[in-house]
Amino acid sequence: MQIEKLASLFELLEGWEDRYRQIIDLGKKLEPLDEEHKTAANKVHGCTSQVWLICRQEEDGRLHFVADSDAHIVRGLIAIVLMIFSDRQPEEIIGLDPLPWFARLGLDQHLSPMRSNGLHAMVGRIKALAAAARG
């Protein structure tokens, strides 16, 4: 699902119970992250749950991210972050501001401060990986 489609779907959902269910469902559809990648080096610091993130650069320069968490809601939030950032060029990733998407989805108002901090930690890690890939 693309981020635009998700935003349109969220606008149709009645309340936050339905949106939370949708977020959890998104997490169930995440690309699997092999256990061998769940290491301290791949851990995203600043998240209360365990979150691991890896990046691979495709031949055309785009960055593809794969991530996982030990928490269902966080897996769904990861899916949303990856919809925004994955499979783009490093320069594009660095310049992307996810805050308008978070606001449109209502994440800015309905996440606990701890989850919000974790979301921003993931974005920071993705942008750092993009900057490193850019060279």
Residue 113, judged by CB atoms within 10 A of its CB (0-12, 13-18, 19+), counts as: exposed
For tokens 């990856």, what's the residue? 82
Phi, psi of 104, rounded to the nearest 5 degrees: -60, -35
Cβ atoms of residues 4 and 80 within 8 Å: no
Question: Which residues, including other chains, have CB under 8 Å from residue 77's CB and lie 6 or more apart?
Answer: 23, 27, 107, 111, 115, 118, 119, 122
Tell me how crowded residue 72 is: count the other CB atoms within 10 A of its CB.
14
55 is catalytic: no
Q: Which of 6, 23, 26, 47 is catalytic?
A: 47
Question: Annotated catalytic sites, by residue?
Answer: 47
